[in-house]
Amino acid sequence: DALCKCLNRACFEERRTRIIEAASRPLCIFIADIDNLKTVNDRWGHAAGDDYIRSCAEAMKKIVRSSDNLYRIGGDEFVFFIPHLDSEGAARIQARIEAEIAELGKAFPCGLSIGYSVLDESDVDFERHFKIADEAMYCRKREKKLG
């Protein structure tokens, strides 16, 4: 992905089966979605929106180990995997990334909603875990809007 200097959706689609089959367990899949990107684009312009996307990708790269890949699978949606990570570790990663985004210091409010799901030793049902992580991300997004 040229904007974020990470892997794109085509690469994600090509690699996801191999990742699920070959990665050490437990394996955590994370889905992240940038909060309020449309508002930033509408109020501060698309250059600010692009900067926001890049800044969020950089913040995730700081926290996600270098051996793990970050994929931009949509305009403001990302996926990454971390092996050897259980639910407690995933919650810590989620909190660290969200804190990093909150500290960006932009002229606009910044946030990133993250959901995750953990695959155990025998689990290879990617679609189920992708759906769990995606639903958890949307739940996190709703919690932020209510909170």
The DSSP line for 115-127 is EEEEE-TT---HH
Active-site position among 35, 76, 125, 134: 76
76 an active-site residue?
Answer: yes
Cis peptide upstream of residue 83 (ω within 30 degrees of 0): no
Q: Give the catalytic positions in this structure.
A: 76
